Chain A
Amino acid sequence: MSPHERDLLGAELTASPYEFLAELRRNDPVHWDEQQRAWLFTTYEDVAFGFVDQKLSSDRIRPLLDVVTPARRAELAPMLGVMSDWMVVTDPPVHTRLRRLANAAFRQQRIAHMTEWIGEIADSLLDDFVASGSTDFVSGVAYPMPATVIAKMLGAPEADKHLFQRWSDELALVAFGAGGDAREDRHRRALAGIADMQGYLENLIDEVTRHPGDDMISALLAGSGTEDRLTREELVALASLILFAGHETTTNLLCNAVVALTQHPDQLAAAYADREVLPGALEEVLRFEGPIKVIVRWVAEDFERGGKQIKAGDRVYLLVNSANRDEKVFADPDRFDIGRSGQPPHIAFGRGAHACLGAQLARIEGRIALPRILDRLPGLRLTTPVTWKPSIASRAVDGLHVDYDGRTVPALAG
């Protein structure tokens, strides 16, 4: 294997991708990865271009179905059929319409007014976490907080949120290209997860139709006051996308914030001393170790970039984690600095038509969670070395265990 060919899903790059990415930016910024069969765009400028240029399509499910064997297509189709309705993998005009309806429903939620109840959710989770003496930060805080928020926004009963994790985990295996499990097993599980989730959402939609409320599904059912409404299939697809996207990434953001802060004690100390630094710290976490590493696009039309001929039908990986460390944009990019100015901005939420729908919600959740985490968990520290999950798209820890001053060590069973 050439020195430049390294496995994005291998142990080395999963643990620490950044040196390799810097090497690519220096020597081969638009790089063909033979293993992934994709062009890697590694600079901020090229990634920003990739997000907005019309020659790059988000329609990345159908092309996948086109290139596989008929047998494989039959196997993948039921699962990918649902995901292919997700607006995240559509282009204008289909995307434009779905996104406009989703935007309206999100705006109607008035997330700026949610700070009080999101704070109550965080407080309650931290109460339980501290009372239990648990060290499992993912189960105790990072998973349930965004899951509870998105469940409430969708109008789902809070008690059902434990279901969401299972489905999201299954979906993430396919959507985020996670490594590890055998592909057939992964797809079978994802299919089961999707079938369960669809059934659940269809029941929820029926329930909400009978008893509309101020949740997003009610808003989507009502439409935005124009004649345009979603079909039932579109509504299930959109609700499932929001459910899936609405917590996996935010869970990872909260975990990555804890990792980054505890791994940089001087920054953690600054945060303990002054909560005002935390919004800036959150942005720096998004830049330094954001939850999304890669966004995938398909090439709709030939073009030249970085001296390379990019062909229609090629796949492109926008390496967000590389763009966010681009030395041409960020001074001392590998330094985690919570005091870093917000200019130039990171690109962790993307740009343009497909920019993260939930970006402001994620920011609000992070800004509410972080000070409470510090307030309730003094002397926060990790108890085990951090291991990252192998995944093309996601920067996610494989569990996160923390200790803090005054933790009540749980009594051992008799």
Chain B
Amino acid sequence: MSTSVTYELHEGGQRQLDVPDGTSVMQAAVSNGVPGIVAECGGQLMCATCHVYVEEAVGEVPEQSADEIEMLELAAAETTAQSRLSCQLVCGPQLDALVVRIPEKQV
């Protein structure tokens, strides 16, 4: 099973991927060359360089932990109520579709 994830690129345009259960929005982006998600730490919740804004969700988005909220304080671009670290957005059967916007900078 998979989640349809649309990445709205900062420079304009978008990429759509079918992300399998258990794969994060970050991992899918990095493996498929979607620009603008750096993910220096590879998903350890230590770098805040995989920041995205969740624009739309169909289904249940994984909950945000206290650690993620903490780390978002280090994000380079402005953070909003929509901000998430995409390494924590792990796709699963509860999440049908997701639209994320990539910020102007990650560092």
Contact = CB atoms under 8 A, between A and B. Distances in A.
B74 interface: yes
Contacts of A112: 70, 73-74
A352 B41 contact: yes
Nearest to B10: A343
Contacts of B70: 107, 110, 112
A351 B42 contact: yes
A356 B71 CA distance: 15
B36 A343 contact: yes
A283 B40 contact: no
B86 to A, nearest CB: 15
B47 A360 contact: yes
Interface in B88-107: 105-107
Contact of B46 (A103, A113, A342): A103
Contact of A351 (B35, B40, B45, B76): B40
B45 A359 contact: no
Nearest to A364: B74
Contacts of A279: 76, 107
A38 to B, nearest CB: 24
Nearest to B11: A343
B89 to A, nearest CB: 19
A363 B49 CA distance: 12
A349 B40 contact: yes
Interface in B35-69: 35-36, 38-42, 44-49, 67
A107 B47 CA distance: 10
Interface string A343-370: 1110001111101110110010000000
User: In terms of DSSP, what is the predominant structure of the interface of chain A?
Assistant: helix
A357 B35 contact: no
B42 A353 contact: yes
A106 interface: yes
B44 A363 contact: no
A350 B102 CA distance: 22
A323 B68 CA distance: 30
Given A107-B67, A112-B74, A360 B106 contact: no
10 contacts: A103-B45, A342-B106, A343-B35, A343-B36, A345-B40, A345-B49, A352-B42, A356-B40, A359-B47, A360-B47
Interface of A: 52, 99, 103-104, 106-107, 110-113, 279, 283, 342-345, 349-353, 355-357, 359-360, 363
Given A104-B67, A342-B107, A355-B42, 4 more contacts: A279-B107, A345-B38, A345-B107, A356-B40
